[in-house]
A and B are shown apart, each in its own frame.
Chain A
Protein backbone atom coordinates (compact mmCIF):
# COMPACT_ATOMS: atom_id res chain seq x y z
CA UNK A 1 0.00 0.00 0.00
CA UNK A 2 1.51 3.29 -1.03
CA UNK A 3 1.32 6.30 1.19
CA UNK A 4 -1.63 7.95 -0.53
CA UNK A 5 -3.71 4.74 -0.33
CA UNK A 6 -2.74 4.43 3.34
CA UNK A 7 -4.00 7.93 4.05
CA UNK A 8 -7.31 7.25 2.25
CA UNK A 9 -7.75 4.02 4.15
CA UNK A 10 -7.18 5.75 7.50
CA UNK A 11 -9.64 8.52 6.60
CA UNK A 12 -12.26 6.02 5.50
CA UNK A 13 -12.25 3.98 8.71
CA UNK A 14 -14.36 6.34 10.83
CA UNK A 15 -16.85 6.64 8.00
CA UNK A 16 -17.12 2.90 7.82
CA UNK A 17 -17.53 2.81 11.57
CA UNK A 18 -20.37 5.32 11.42
CA UNK A 19 -21.98 3.37 8.64
CA UNK A 20 -21.75 0.15 10.64
CA UNK A 21 -23.20 1.84 13.76
CA UNK A 22 -26.15 3.21 11.81
CA UNK A 23 -26.84 -0.15 10.43
CA UNK A 24 -27.10 -1.68 13.95
CA UNK A 25 -29.41 0.91 15.58
CA UNK A 26 -31.54 1.70 12.65
CA UNK A 27 -32.86 -1.80 12.65
CA UNK A 28 -34.23 -1.88 16.27
CA UNK A 29 -35.87 0.22 19.00
CA UNK A 30 -33.97 3.24 20.28
CA UNK A 31 -34.60 4.21 23.90
CA UNK A 32 -34.95 7.88 24.60
CA UNK A 33 -37.22 10.71 25.55
CA UNK A 34 -40.48 11.95 24.13
CA UNK A 35 -42.24 15.15 25.02
CA UNK A 36 -45.86 15.49 26.00
CA UNK A 37 -46.93 18.90 24.79
CA UNK A 38 -50.02 20.80 25.94
CA UNK A 39 -52.30 23.02 23.96
CA UNK A 40 -54.57 25.09 26.18
CA UNK A 41 -57.06 27.87 25.46
CA UNK A 42 -56.54 29.38 28.94
CA UNK A 43 -53.72 31.31 30.58
CA UNK A 44 -54.56 30.41 34.17
CA UNK A 45 -54.55 26.63 34.29
CA UNK A 46 -53.26 25.35 37.62
CA UNK A 47 -53.68 21.61 37.57
CA UNK A 48 -54.55 18.86 35.15
CA UNK A 49 -55.05 15.13 35.07
CA UNK A 50 -54.23 13.22 31.90
CA UNK A 51 -53.82 9.77 30.46
CA UNK A 52 -51.19 8.46 28.06
CA UNK A 53 -51.66 5.13 26.31
CA UNK A 54 -49.65 3.24 23.75
CA UNK A 55 -46.36 1.39 23.85
CA UNK A 56 -44.43 1.03 27.04
CA UNK A 57 -43.40 4.04 29.11
CA UNK A 58 -40.48 3.61 31.46
CA UNK A 59 -41.06 6.75 33.47
CA UNK A 60 -42.35 10.31 33.31
CA UNK A 61 -41.00 13.53 34.72
CA UNK A 62 -42.16 17.14 34.72
CA UNK A 63 -40.69 19.13 31.88
CA UNK A 64 -39.45 21.86 34.20
CA UNK A 65 -39.14 22.79 37.83
CA UNK A 66 -42.25 24.97 37.82
CA UNK A 67 -44.41 21.87 37.54
CA UNK A 68 -45.01 19.01 39.93
CA UNK A 69 -46.02 15.63 38.55
CA UNK A 70 -47.71 12.61 40.14
CA UNK A 71 -48.24 9.45 38.10
CA UNK A 72 -49.82 6.06 38.42
CA UNK A 73 -49.46 3.13 36.05
CA UNK A 74 -52.77 1.72 35.02
CA UNK A 75 -52.15 -1.57 33.31
CA UNK A 76 -49.10 -2.22 31.19
CA UNK A 77 -49.59 0.42 28.57
CA UNK A 78 -51.41 3.30 30.23
CA UNK A 79 -50.12 5.95 32.59
CA UNK A 80 -52.39 8.43 34.31
CA UNK A 81 -50.98 11.54 35.88
CA UNK A 82 -51.68 14.79 37.64
CA UNK A 83 -49.53 17.80 36.92
CA UNK A 84 -49.73 20.92 39.04
CA UNK A 85 -48.22 24.33 38.50
CA UNK A 86 -48.38 27.16 36.02
CA UNK A 87 -49.53 25.13 33.04
CA UNK A 88 -48.95 26.72 29.64
CA UNK A 89 -48.75 25.87 25.97
CA UNK A 90 -45.70 23.77 25.20
CA UNK A 91 -43.68 21.03 26.82
CA UNK A 92 -45.33 19.57 29.89
CA UNK A 93 -44.01 16.10 30.57
CA UNK A 94 -40.94 14.17 29.51
CA UNK A 95 -41.63 10.50 28.85
CA UNK A 96 -38.75 8.04 28.94
CA UNK A 97 -39.61 5.25 26.52
CA UNK A 98 -37.87 2.13 25.13
CA UNK A 99 -38.45 3.21 21.55
CA UNK A 100 -38.61 6.82 20.50
CA UNK A 101 -39.43 5.70 17.01
CA UNK A 102 -42.84 4.67 18.22
CA UNK A 103 -43.86 8.21 19.14
CA UNK A 104 -46.77 8.28 16.78
CA UNK A 105 -48.34 5.25 18.45
CA UNK A 106 -48.90 7.07 21.76
CA UNK A 107 -52.17 8.81 22.43
CA UNK A 108 -52.69 11.31 25.24
CA UNK A 109 -55.92 12.69 26.67
CA UNK A 110 -56.73 15.55 29.00
CA UNK A 111 -59.04 14.25 31.77
CA UNK A 112 -59.62 17.25 34.06
CA UNK A 113 -58.30 20.79 34.35
CA UNK A 114 -58.61 23.24 37.23
CA UNK A 115 -57.81 26.90 37.21
CA UNK A 116 -55.41 28.35 39.76
CA UNK A 117 -58.31 29.06 42.14
CA UNK A 118 -59.16 25.33 42.22
CA UNK A 119 -62.29 25.60 40.07
CA UNK A 120 -62.80 22.72 37.69
CA UNK A 121 -63.06 23.60 33.99
CA UNK A 122 -66.54 22.79 32.79
CA UNK A 123 -65.37 22.36 29.21
CA UNK A 124 -62.19 20.85 27.83
CA UNK A 125 -62.74 22.29 24.37
CA UNK A 126 -59.50 23.60 22.96
CA UNK A 127 -57.28 21.37 25.10
CA UNK A 128 -54.97 18.86 23.46
CA UNK A 129 -51.98 16.72 24.33
CA UNK A 130 -49.52 15.49 21.74
CA UNK A 131 -46.53 13.22 22.02
CA UNK A 132 -43.50 14.34 20.01
CA UNK A 133 -39.84 13.45 19.70
Chain B
Protein backbone atom coordinates (compact mmCIF):
# COMPACT_ATOMS: atom_id res chain seq x y z
CA UNK B 1 0.00 0.00 0.00
CA UNK B 2 1.75 3.17 -1.11
CA UNK B 3 1.45 6.37 -3.10
CA UNK B 4 0.42 9.94 -2.45
CA UNK B 5 -1.96 10.13 0.49
CA UNK B 6 -4.96 12.27 1.24
CA UNK B 7 -4.60 15.65 2.97
CA UNK B 8 -8.13 15.54 4.42
CA UNK B 9 -9.79 12.94 6.63
CA UNK B 10 -12.76 12.66 4.30
CA UNK B 11 -10.69 11.04 1.60
CA UNK B 12 -8.29 9.18 3.86
CA UNK B 13 -6.59 6.07 2.57
CA UNK B 14 -8.07 2.98 4.23
CA UNK B 15 -5.78 0.69 6.14
CA UNK B 16 -6.59 -2.39 8.20
CA UNK B 17 -5.33 -3.07 11.67
CA UNK B 18 -2.36 -5.35 11.30
CA UNK B 19 -1.28 -3.79 8.02
CA UNK B 20 1.47 -1.35 7.12
CA UNK B 21 1.16 1.41 4.55
CA UNK B 22 3.80 3.47 2.84
CA UNK B 23 3.59 7.10 1.90
CA UNK B 24 5.67 10.19 1.36
CA UNK B 25 5.52 13.58 2.97
CA UNK B 26 6.02 16.15 0.29
CA UNK B 27 7.71 19.46 0.98
CA UNK B 28 5.77 21.45 -1.58
CA UNK B 29 2.33 20.16 -0.83
CA UNK B 30 -0.45 22.67 -1.25
CA UNK B 31 -1.55 22.40 2.38
CA UNK B 32 -0.20 25.50 4.21
CA UNK B 33 0.36 23.43 7.32
CA UNK B 34 2.54 21.12 5.34
CA UNK B 35 1.72 17.74 3.93
CA UNK B 36 -0.56 15.69 6.17
CA UNK B 37 -1.37 12.13 5.19
CA UNK B 38 -4.59 10.70 6.59
CA UNK B 39 -5.23 7.00 6.95
CA UNK B 40 -8.57 5.54 8.03
CA UNK B 41 -9.20 2.33 9.94
CA UNK B 42 -11.97 0.76 11.97
CA UNK B 43 -11.30 0.45 15.67
CA UNK B 44 -13.19 -1.97 17.87
CA UNK B 45 -14.20 -0.96 21.38
CA UNK B 46 -12.13 -2.68 24.02
CA UNK B 47 -9.05 -3.04 21.85
CA UNK B 48 -5.82 -1.13 21.98
CA UNK B 49 -4.04 -0.04 18.84
CA UNK B 50 -0.58 1.18 18.13
CA UNK B 51 0.47 3.54 15.35
CA UNK B 52 4.13 3.52 14.45
CA UNK B 53 5.90 5.53 11.78
CA UNK B 54 9.27 4.43 10.43
CA UNK B 55 11.24 7.13 8.64
CA UNK B 56 14.24 8.34 10.66
CA UNK B 57 15.20 4.78 11.40
CA UNK B 58 15.63 4.32 7.66
CA UNK B 59 18.57 6.70 7.91
CA UNK B 60 16.75 9.85 6.94
CA UNK B 61 17.31 13.14 8.76
CA UNK B 62 13.62 13.72 9.38
CA UNK B 63 11.24 14.18 12.30
CA UNK B 64 7.77 12.83 11.56
CA UNK B 65 4.72 13.07 13.85
CA UNK B 66 1.71 10.80 14.13
CA UNK B 67 -1.69 11.70 15.52
CA UNK B 68 -4.92 9.83 16.03
CA UNK B 69 -8.25 11.52 15.33
CA UNK B 70 -11.76 10.47 16.23
CA UNK B 71 -14.42 9.66 13.68
CA UNK B 72 -15.27 13.36 13.21
CA UNK B 73 -11.80 13.81 11.77
CA UNK B 74 -11.06 16.83 13.96
CA UNK B 75 -10.99 15.65 17.58
CA UNK B 76 -7.39 14.70 18.31
CA UNK B 77 -7.22 11.70 20.62
CA UNK B 78 -3.50 11.10 20.78
CA UNK B 79 -0.26 12.48 19.43
CA UNK B 80 3.35 11.43 19.41
CA UNK B 81 6.60 12.84 18.17
CA UNK B 82 9.71 10.99 19.30
CA UNK B 83 8.92 7.63 20.88
CA UNK B 84 11.60 5.80 18.89
CA UNK B 85 14.37 8.31 18.37
CA UNK B 86 12.93 10.83 15.94
CA UNK B 87 10.22 8.42 14.84
CA UNK B 88 6.81 8.53 16.50
CA UNK B 89 4.75 5.73 17.99
CA UNK B 90 1.55 5.96 19.97
CA UNK B 91 -0.86 3.61 21.65
CA UNK B 92 -4.51 4.20 22.29
CA UNK B 93 -7.32 2.25 23.91
CA UNK B 94 -10.43 2.28 21.76
CA UNK B 95 -13.54 2.98 23.80
CA UNK B 96 -16.07 3.35 20.96
CA UNK B 97 -16.22 1.22 17.84
CA UNK B 98 -15.93 3.36 14.73
CA UNK B 99 -13.71 4.94 12.12
CA UNK B 100 -10.47 6.48 13.30
CA UNK B 101 -7.90 8.50 11.39
CA UNK B 102 -4.15 8.30 11.64
CA UNK B 103 -2.43 11.48 10.47
CA UNK B 104 1.23 11.52 9.54
CA UNK B 105 3.08 14.80 9.20
CA UNK B 106 6.47 16.20 10.06
CA UNK B 107 8.15 18.85 12.17
CA UNK B 108 9.08 21.29 9.43
CA UNK B 109 5.73 21.64 7.71
CA UNK B 110 6.04 22.38 4.04
CA UNK B 111 9.62 23.57 4.09
CA UNK B 112 11.45 20.31 4.59
CA UNK B 113 12.72 17.69 2.26
CA UNK B 114 10.25 15.13 0.97
CA UNK B 115 10.70 11.71 2.49
CA UNK B 116 9.09 8.29 2.45
CA UNK B 117 7.71 6.59 5.51
CA UNK B 118 5.95 3.44 6.62
CA UNK B 119 2.94 3.53 8.90
CA UNK B 120 2.19 0.44 10.97
CA UNK B 121 -1.29 0.05 12.42
CA UNK B 122 -1.43 -2.86 14.81
CA UNK B 123 -3.42 -4.20 17.71
CA UNK B 124 -1.49 -4.59 20.94
CA UNK B 125 -2.14 -6.06 24.34
CA UNK B 126 -3.07 -3.21 26.70
CA UNK B 127 -1.60 -2.79 30.15
CA UNK B 128 -3.34 -3.51 33.45
CA UNK B 129 -4.04 0.21 33.79
CA UNK B 130 -6.10 0.21 30.60
CA UNK B 131 -8.64 1.25 29.64
CA UNK B 132 -8.30 4.74 30.98
CA UNK B 133 -11.19 6.97 32.01
CA UNK B 134 -11.23 10.70 31.31
CA UNK B 135 -11.96 12.51 34.58
CA UNK B 136 -11.73 16.08 33.27
CA UNK B 137 -11.07 17.60 29.87
CA UNK B 138 -10.68 20.94 28.10
CA UNK B 139 -8.25 21.99 30.81
CA UNK B 140 -5.86 23.97 28.64
CA UNK B 141 -2.42 22.52 29.37
CA UNK B 142 -2.73 20.53 32.61
CA UNK B 143 0.69 19.65 34.00
CA UNK B 144 1.20 19.48 37.78
CA UNK B 145 -1.10 17.33 39.88
CA UNK B 146 -1.77 17.10 43.62
CA UNK B 147 -4.55 15.34 45.48
CA UNK B 148 -6.34 17.10 48.31
CA UNK B 149 -7.23 15.70 51.70
CA UNK B 150 -10.71 14.71 50.61
CA UNK B 151 -9.78 13.28 47.24
CA UNK B 152 -10.28 16.28 44.96
CA UNK B 153 -7.65 16.68 42.25
CA UNK B 154 -5.76 19.97 41.95
CA UNK B 155 -4.28 20.54 38.53
CA UNK B 156 -2.00 23.30 37.28
CA UNK B 157 -3.15 24.66 33.95
CA UNK B 158 -0.02 26.14 32.39
CA UNK B 159 -1.91 27.74 29.54
CA UNK B 160 -4.59 29.24 31.75
CA UNK B 161 -2.30 30.53 34.54
CA UNK B 162 -4.52 28.88 37.10
CA UNK B 163 -5.04 25.87 39.31
CA UNK B 164 -8.25 23.98 38.78
CA UNK B 165 -10.01 21.68 41.19
CA UNK B 166 -11.60 18.49 39.93
CA UNK B 167 -14.12 16.99 42.32
CA UNK B 168 -14.80 13.31 42.69
CA UNK B 169 -17.86 13.82 40.53
CA UNK B 170 -15.74 15.42 37.80
CA UNK B 171 -16.85 19.01 38.39
CA UNK B 172 -14.10 21.40 37.32
CA UNK B 173 -13.76 24.78 39.02
CA UNK B 174 -11.00 27.35 39.07
CA UNK B 175 -9.37 27.06 42.50
CA UNK B 176 -6.73 29.78 42.15
CA UNK B 177 -6.32 32.21 39.29
CA UNK B 178 -3.45 34.49 38.39
CA UNK B 179 -0.56 32.12 39.06
CA UNK B 180 1.70 32.43 36.02
CA UNK B 181 2.31 29.08 34.35
CA UNK B 182 2.01 26.71 37.30
CA UNK B 183 4.40 23.76 37.30
CA UNK B 184 4.79 21.44 40.30
CA UNK B 185 2.11 21.30 43.02
CA UNK B 186 2.10 19.90 46.55
CA UNK B 187 0.18 20.44 49.77
CA UNK B 188 2.21 21.81 52.67
CA UNK B 189 2.07 20.92 56.34
CA UNK B 190 -0.72 23.41 56.95
CA UNK B 191 -2.85 21.95 54.18
CA UNK B 192 -2.25 24.86 51.84
CA UNK B 193 -1.33 24.23 48.23
CA UNK B 194 2.18 25.15 47.11
CA UNK B 195 2.51 25.98 43.45
CA UNK B 196 5.84 26.44 41.67
CA UNK B 197 5.44 29.07 39.00
CA UNK B 198 7.44 29.88 35.92
CA UNK B 199 7.72 33.43 37.27
CA UNK B 200 10.29 32.13 39.77
CA UNK B 201 8.01 32.04 42.80
CA UNK B 202 6.46 29.31 44.86
CA UNK B 203 2.97 30.47 45.73
CA UNK B 204 1.01 29.30 48.75
CA UNK B 205 -2.72 29.05 48.22
CA UNK B 206 -5.21 29.03 51.08
CA UNK B 207 -8.16 26.68 51.10
CA UNK B 208 -10.20 29.63 49.83
CA UNK B 209 -7.94 29.95 46.78
CA UNK B 210 -6.04 33.06 47.85
CA UNK B 211 -2.48 32.89 46.53
CA UNK B 212 0.48 34.69 48.08
CA UNK B 213 4.19 34.57 47.30
CA UNK B 214 5.80 32.08 49.65
CA UNK B 215 9.26 31.09 48.44
CA UNK B 216 11.00 33.72 46.36
CA UNK B 217 14.68 32.83 46.59
CA UNK B 218 14.72 30.05 44.01
CA UNK B 219 15.62 31.10 40.48
CA UNK B 220 13.38 28.72 38.59
CA UNK B 221 11.42 26.49 40.96
CA UNK B 222 10.22 23.56 38.92
CA UNK B 223 8.86 20.62 40.88
CA UNK B 224 7.89 20.47 44.52
CA UNK B 225 7.16 17.87 47.18
CA UNK B 226 6.45 17.95 50.90
CA UNK B 227 8.02 15.34 53.15
CA UNK B 228 6.36 13.68 56.10
CA UNK B 229 8.13 16.05 58.47
CA UNK B 230 6.57 19.01 56.68
CA UNK B 231 9.78 20.12 55.03
CA UNK B 232 9.49 21.35 51.49
CA UNK B 233 11.70 20.02 48.71
CA UNK B 234 11.93 21.68 45.36
CA UNK B 235 14.07 21.44 42.27
CA UNK B 236 15.52 24.64 40.92
CA UNK B 237 16.24 24.53 37.22
CA UNK B 238 18.19 27.81 37.31
CA UNK B 239 21.17 26.29 39.12
CA UNK B 240 20.17 22.63 38.78
CA UNK B 241 19.85 22.15 42.51
CA UNK B 242 17.60 20.27 44.87
CA UNK B 243 16.59 22.52 47.74
CA UNK B 244 15.16 21.81 51.16
CA UNK B 245 13.07 24.34 53.02
CA UNK B 246 11.51 24.33 56.46
CA UNK B 247 7.76 24.02 56.63
CA UNK B 248 7.72 27.78 57.11
CA UNK B 249 9.55 28.31 53.81
CA UNK B 250 13.06 29.02 55.06
CA UNK B 251 15.91 27.60 52.97
CA UNK B 252 17.73 24.96 55.00
CA UNK B 253 19.93 23.11 52.52
CA UNK B 254 20.83 23.01 48.87
CA UNK B 255 22.22 20.03 46.93
CA UNK B 256 24.01 20.43 43.63
CA UNK B 257 22.26 18.25 41.07
CA UNK B 258 24.45 18.94 38.06
CA UNK B 259 26.34 15.72 38.64
CA UNK B 260 23.27 13.58 38.01
CA UNK B 261 23.42 14.63 34.38
CA UNK B 262 20.66 14.86 31.87
CA UNK B 263 18.47 17.89 32.39
CA UNK B 264 17.90 17.26 36.04
CA UNK B 265 17.04 17.54 38.71
CA UNK B 266 13.50 17.80 37.41
CA UNK B 267 10.35 16.06 38.65
CA UNK B 268 10.51 15.10 42.30
CA UNK B 269 8.77 12.77 44.76
CA UNK B 270 9.35 11.62 48.31
CA UNK B 271 10.23 7.93 48.53
CA UNK B 272 9.16 5.22 50.97
CA UNK B 273 11.87 6.02 53.51
CA UNK B 274 11.29 9.72 53.30
CA UNK B 275 14.18 10.50 51.00
CA UNK B 276 13.67 12.68 47.91
CA UNK B 277 13.80 11.07 44.48
CA UNK B 278 14.41 13.20 41.40
CA UNK B 279 14.39 12.59 37.69
CA UNK B 280 16.91 13.93 35.23
CA UNK B 281 14.30 13.04 32.60
CA UNK B 282 15.82 9.69 31.64
CA UNK B 283 16.97 8.43 35.04
CA UNK B 284 15.67 8.45 38.60
CA UNK B 285 18.05 9.30 41.44
CA UNK B 286 17.57 9.49 45.18
CA UNK B 287 19.28 11.66 47.76
CA UNK B 288 20.75 9.71 50.68
CA UNK B 289 22.83 11.46 53.32
CA UNK B 290 23.32 14.39 51.01
CA UNK B 291 24.57 12.28 48.10
CA UNK B 292 22.72 11.41 44.93
CA UNK B 293 22.47 7.73 44.02
CA UNK B 294 21.10 6.50 40.71
CA UNK B 295 18.10 4.21 41.09
CA UNK B 296 17.60 3.30 37.44
CA UNK B 297 17.89 4.43 33.86
CA UNK B 298 14.93 4.34 31.55
CA UNK B 299 14.93 4.06 27.80
CA UNK B 300 12.42 6.85 27.35
CA UNK B 301 11.70 10.24 28.82
CA UNK B 302 10.55 10.24 32.46
CA UNK B 303 8.29 12.83 34.02
CA UNK B 304 6.59 13.20 37.40
CA UNK B 305 6.43 9.75 38.99
CA UNK B 306 4.65 8.38 42.06
CA UNK B 307 5.22 5.59 44.58
CA UNK B 308 2.79 3.00 45.87
CA UNK B 309 2.97 1.60 49.39
CA UNK B 310 5.01 -1.35 48.14
CA UNK B 311 7.70 1.05 46.93
CA UNK B 312 6.89 0.50 43.26
CA UNK B 313 7.26 3.50 40.98
CA UNK B 314 4.69 4.54 38.40
CA UNK B 315 6.47 6.47 35.68
CA UNK B 316 4.75 8.59 33.01
CA UNK B 317 6.65 8.47 29.76
CA UNK B 318 5.15 11.26 27.66
CA UNK B 319 7.14 10.78 24.48
CA UNK B 320 6.31 7.10 24.50
CA UNK B 321 2.66 7.77 25.27
CA UNK B 322 2.43 5.30 28.11
CA UNK B 323 2.87 4.73 31.83
CA UNK B 324 5.44 2.25 33.06
CA UNK B 325 5.71 0.40 36.37
CA UNK B 326 9.04 -0.33 38.07
CA UNK B 327 9.88 -1.82 41.40
CA UNK B 328 11.91 0.16 43.89
CA UNK B 329 15.21 -1.00 42.40
CA UNK B 330 14.26 0.00 38.88
CA UNK B 331 13.35 -3.43 37.57
CA UNK B 332 10.50 -3.23 35.09
CA UNK B 333 7.37 -4.80 36.52
CA UNK B 334 4.90 -3.88 33.80
CA UNK B 335 5.58 -2.00 30.60
CA UNK B 336 3.29 -0.76 29.42
CA UNK B 337 1.27 -0.34 32.55
CA UNK B 338 -1.15 1.78 30.53
CA UNK B 339 -1.11 2.86 26.92
CA UNK B 340 -4.35 4.81 27.00
CA UNK B 341 -2.71 8.13 27.90
CA UNK B 342 -1.55 10.34 25.07
CA UNK B 343 1.50 12.03 26.62
CA UNK B 344 1.18 11.64 30.42
CA UNK B 345 3.39 13.98 32.43
CA UNK B 346 2.43 13.69 36.09
CA UNK B 347 0.85 10.87 38.02
CA UNK B 348 -0.62 10.87 41.52
CA UNK B 349 -2.58 8.46 43.65
CA UNK B 350 -6.08 9.30 44.75
CA UNK B 351 -7.30 9.73 48.30
CA UNK B 352 -10.65 8.96 49.84
CA UNK B 353 -12.86 11.30 51.85
CA UNK B 354 -10.84 10.61 54.99
CA UNK B 355 -7.59 11.51 53.28
CA UNK B 356 -6.31 7.95 53.09
CA UNK B 357 -4.40 7.16 49.93
CA UNK B 358 -6.14 4.57 47.76
CA UNK B 359 -5.35 2.32 44.81
CA UNK B 360 -6.48 4.79 42.16
CA UNK B 361 -3.94 6.38 39.83
CA UNK B 362 -4.52 9.66 38.02
CA UNK B 363 -2.44 11.43 35.41
CA UNK B 364 -2.29 14.72 33.62
CA UNK B 365 -2.28 14.44 29.86
CA UNK B 366 -1.38 17.96 28.72
CA UNK B 367 -1.38 17.53 24.97
CA UNK B 368 -4.92 16.25 25.19
CA UNK B 369 -5.91 18.84 27.84
CA UNK B 370 -7.27 16.26 30.20
CA UNK B 371 -6.91 14.43 33.47
CA UNK B 372 -7.32 10.68 33.24
CA UNK B 373 -7.60 7.76 35.58
CA UNK B 374 -6.04 4.40 34.98
CA UNK B 375 -8.20 1.32 35.35
CA UNK B 376 -8.29 0.86 39.15
CA UNK B 377 -8.60 -2.90 38.71
CA UNK B 378 -5.03 -2.85 37.48
CA UNK B 379 -3.61 -0.82 40.35
CA UNK B 380 -2.29 -3.39 42.82
CA UNK B 381 -1.51 -1.22 45.82
CA UNK B 382 -2.63 2.05 47.35
CA UNK B 383 -0.38 4.99 46.83
CA UNK B 384 2.34 5.87 49.26
CA UNK B 385 0.90 8.65 51.44
CA UNK B 386 2.30 11.98 50.37
CA UNK B 387 2.92 15.13 52.30
CA UNK B 388 3.00 15.96 55.94
CA UNK B 389 2.12 13.38 58.57
CA UNK B 390 1.56 14.67 62.10
CA UNK B 391 4.19 12.98 64.28
CA UNK B 392 2.33 13.45 67.55
CA UNK B 393 -0.96 14.64 68.96
CA UNK B 394 -1.71 18.24 69.97
CA UNK B 395 -1.91 17.02 73.55
CA UNK B 396 1.61 15.58 73.36
CA UNK B 397 2.93 18.82 71.90
CA UNK B 398 1.15 20.81 74.59
CA UNK B 399 2.58 18.62 77.32
CA UNK B 400 6.04 19.25 75.94
CA UNK B 401 5.40 22.95 75.78
CA UNK B 402 4.18 23.03 79.36
CA UNK B 403 7.16 21.27 80.83
CA UNK B 404 6.33 17.64 80.44
CA UNK B 405 8.54 14.92 79.03
CA UNK B 406 7.92 13.16 75.77
CA UNK B 407 9.32 15.47 73.13
CA UNK B 408 12.83 14.85 71.91
CA UNK B 409 15.26 17.55 70.92
CA UNK B 410 14.48 16.69 67.31
CA UNK B 411 10.76 17.01 67.98
CA UNK B 412 11.28 20.46 69.43
CA UNK B 413 13.42 21.49 66.48
CA UNK B 414 10.73 20.21 64.15
CA UNK B 415 8.04 22.19 65.97
CA UNK B 416 10.18 25.30 65.89
CA UNK B 417 10.60 24.76 62.15
CA UNK B 418 6.84 24.53 61.73
CA UNK B 419 6.46 27.83 63.52
CA UNK B 420 8.63 30.86 64.08
CA UNK B 421 12.02 29.06 63.97
CA UNK B 422 13.58 31.22 66.64
CA UNK B 423 15.68 28.37 67.92
CA UNK B 424 13.37 26.98 70.58
CA UNK B 425 9.91 25.47 70.89
CA UNK B 426 7.50 28.11 72.16
CA UNK B 427 3.81 28.95 72.18
CA UNK B 428 3.99 30.46 68.68
CA UNK B 429 5.29 27.15 67.35
CA UNK B 430 2.54 25.34 69.20
CA UNK B 431 -0.06 27.55 67.59
CA UNK B 432 1.52 26.86 64.18
CA UNK B 433 1.43 23.13 64.84
CA UNK B 434 -2.25 23.26 65.77
CA UNK B 435 -2.84 25.10 62.53
CA UNK B 436 -1.18 22.31 60.52
CA UNK B 437 -3.57 19.88 62.17
CA UNK B 438 -6.59 22.10 61.58
CA UNK B 439 -6.69 22.22 65.36
CA UNK B 440 -7.15 25.93 65.91
CA UNK B 441 -10.56 26.96 67.24
CA UNK B 442 -12.89 27.44 64.33
CA UNK B 443 -10.79 25.28 61.99
CA UNK B 444 -12.46 22.71 59.80
CA UNK B 445 -12.11 19.27 61.42
CB 8 Å contact bits of B420-439 with A (1 = contact, 0 = none): 10100011111110100001
B332 interface contact, C-beta 8 A: no
Q: Please report which residues of chain B, range 350-403, place their CB below 8 angstroms from some CB of chain A when the two chains form the complex.
A: 394-395, 398-399, 401-403
**Separation of A49 and B398 alpha carbons in the complex (Å):** 10
Q: Give the chain B neighbours of A84 by CB distance below 8 A.
A: 430-431, 434, 440-441
Q: Contact: A81 with B402, CB < 8 Å?
A: yes
Q: Contact: B420 with A85, CB < 8 Å?
A: no
Which one, B398, B426, B432, contacts A70 given CB within 8 A?
B398
Q: Contact: A46 with B431, CB < 8 Å?
A: yes
Q: Contact: A48 with B427, CB < 8 Å?
A: yes
Q: Interface size on B (CB < 8 Å)?
A: 23
Which one, A66, A71, A72, A82, contacts B427 given CB within 8 A?
A82
User: Which of A48, A67, A118 is most buried by chain B, counting CB atoms within 10 A of its CB?
Assistant: A118
B442 interface contact, C-beta 8 A: yes
Q: Contact: A114 with B439, CB < 8 Å?
A: no
Q: Contact: B440 with A70, CB < 8 Å?
A: no
* A47-B427, A84-B430 as given contacts; A68 in contact with B402, CB under 8 Å: no
Q: Please report which residues of chain A, range 86-109, place their CB below 8 angstroms from some CB of chain B when the two chains form the complex.
A: 86
Which one, B394, B402, B426, contacts A72 given CB within 8 A?
B402
Q: Give the chain A neighbours of B401 by CB distance below 8 A.
A: 49, 70, 82
A31 interface contact, C-beta 8 A: no
Q: Please report which residues of chain A, range 19-72, place their CB below 8 angstroms from some CB of chain B when the two chains form the complex.
A: 46-49, 65-68, 70-72
Q: Contact: A114 with B427, CB < 8 Å?
A: yes
B32 interface contact, C-beta 8 A: no
Q: Contact: A66 with B442, CB < 8 Å?
A: yes
Q: List 13 A-B contacts (CB under 8 A).
A: A66-B441, A68-B440, A70-B394, A71-B402, A72-B403, A80-B403, A82-B398, A84-B430, A84-B431, A112-B427, A114-B426, A114-B431, A120-B420
B221 interface contact, C-beta 8 A: no
Q: Give the chain B neighbours of A74 by CB distance below 8 A.
A: 402-403
Which one, A48, A68, A116, A120, contacts B422 given CB within 8 A?
A120
Q: Give the chain B neighbours of A129 by CB distance below 8 A.
A: none
Interface size class of A (residues with CB under 8 A): 20 to 34
B299 interface contact, C-beta 8 A: no
B249 interface contact, C-beta 8 A: no
Judged by DSSP, the binding face of A is: strand
Q: Give the chain B neighbours of A116 by CB distance below 8 A.
A: 431
Q: Contact: A68 with B428, CB < 8 Å?
A: no
A131 interface contact, C-beta 8 A: no
User: Which of B403, B419, B431, B432 is most buried by chain A, counting CB atoms within 10 A of its CB?
Assistant: B431
Q: Contact: B428 with A72, CB < 8 Å?
A: no
Q: Contact: B430 with A119, CB < 8 Å?
A: no
Q: Contact: B427 with A80, CB < 8 Å?
A: no
CB 8 Å contact bits of B165-208 with A (1 = contact, 0 = none): 00000000000000000000000000000000000000000000
B404 interface contact, C-beta 8 A: yes
Q: Contact: B402 with A49, CB < 8 Å?
A: yes
Q: Contact: B441 with A80, CB < 8 Å?
A: no
Q: Contact: A80 with B428, CB < 8 Å?
A: no
Given contact pairs A68-B440, A118-B431, A119-B428, a sample of 13 additional A-B residue pairs in the complex whose CB atoms are under 8 Å apart: A65-B441, A70-B394, A71-B402, A72-B399, A82-B398, A82-B401, A84-B430, A84-B431, A84-B434, A86-B441, A111-B427, A116-B431, A120-B426
Q: Give the chain A neighbours of B431 by CB distance below 8 A.
A: 46-47, 84, 114, 116, 118
